[in-house]
Amino acid sequence: MNASDITLKQMQQMVHEWITTVGVRYFSPLTNMAILAEETGEVARIMARRHGDQSWKHGENPDLADELADMLWVLTAIANQEGIDLNEAFMNNIRKKSIRDKERHISNPKLTDNSTQTS
């Protein structure tokens, strides 16, 4: 299957199939939450070095795409465990944000005033 063709529903099914065959079973929800926090930390570490003030250790070459995929994997496992359809949840979230933030960001001078931006 081509990666660009995977839907959220298919991703959830693929993660479920892998976990219940290769992975034997799901970890507990609390363990998966801890793993998600760990993976989030790994992404934060890359971002802090790539865009922040910290430097890499000698020979370090982490893969941001792989770390983001790890986060997505664990997030998907948690959704599966909790019976959440990620497609439905995502669409509901977009609708919520579109209503709640309709004027919020466009009216924020911090986002429209180029003189305050830093790189």
Question: How confident is the model at residue 118, as a pLDDT?
Answer: 53
Q: Which of 15, 21, 20, 14 is nearest to 78 (CA)?
A: 15
Q: Which fold has domain 8-116?
A: Helix Hairpins (1.10.287)
Question: How confident is the model at residue 20, as a pLDDT?
Answer: 97
The H-or-E segment that residue 66 falls in is helix 64-82
Question: How confident is the model at residue 41, as a pLDDT?
Answer: 97
Q: Provide the residue type at 97 as one letter.
A: K
Q: CA 99 → CA 1, 50, 59, 95, distances in Å?
A: 36, 34, 47, 6
Instruction: Walk along the chain (119 residues) in steps of 10 and give the mean pLDDT of each run.
Output: 83 97 96 98 95 91 95 98 97 93 84 61
- What's the burial of 113, exposed, middle or buried (CB within 10 Å: 0-12/13-18/19+)? exposed
Question: How confident is the model at residue 113, as a pLDDT?
Answer: 65
Question: How confident is the model at residue 112, as a pLDDT?
Answer: 80
